[in-house]
Amino acid sequence: MSTSQARAYIPDGYTENGLIKEIKNVHETVRFQYRPVLPESVRALMHNYFEKSAKAQGEIVDQTLMRQLIEWDLQDHQGSPLPINAQNLKRIKKPLKDRLFNIVTCFDGSDDDVDGSQEELNDESDLNFDELLSGESDGSGNKTAKQAKN
């Protein structure tokens, strides 16, 4: 059972699709599939987390990601897929690794998979807000059904 839409209830075997958008000069966009960590397990993982050593914190993150990530599209510098394992997890840049952990543990949500092209952004900036907000048109010069009748 896989879904791209997040759900509040986590049945056994449930997976979600995730997306972390690129951060320029830090990491590329990453798509992944994961099993959300159950709330009781999150509480156990996070119990005294910040009192633990850096090594212990890293182990919690790595072990959680290895168990909960199903797949990802991360590749090495030659374009070969990287398996999800301890060795590769230890080499992922911290902002990406932290975000993966926060999404898998439901502290954060995945990014939206919307590709807002510059053309779409330009169309939105050309709106006539006076007409749009008054109900005279849809903001782009097209009369509303109400205005077309008059």
What domain range is 74 assigned to?
2-104
| 100 and 45 within one domain | yes
Residue 113 lies in a domain: no
**pTM of the predicted protein model:** 0.72
| 91 and 129 within one domain | no
| 134 and 63 within one domain | no
User: In the predicted model, what is the mean pLDDT of the chain?
Assistant: 85
**Residue 136 in this model has a pLDDT that exceeds 50:** yes
Q: Phi and psi of 147, rounded to 5°?
A: -70, -35
| 141 and 67 within one domain | no
Pick the closest to residue 108 from 18, 10, 9 (CA basis): 18
CATH of the domain at 76: 3.30.2220
Q: 73-109: per-residue pLDDT in tens?
A: 999 999 999 999 999 999 999 999 999 999 999 999 9
The CA distance from 2 to 106, in Å, is: 17
> How many domains does the chain divide into?
2
Higher-confidence residue of 92 and 138: namely: 92
| 31 and 57 within one domain | yes
Residue entry with tokens 């782009």: 140
83-111: b (≥16 Cβ within 10 Å) or e: ebeeebbeebeeebbebbbebbbbeeebb
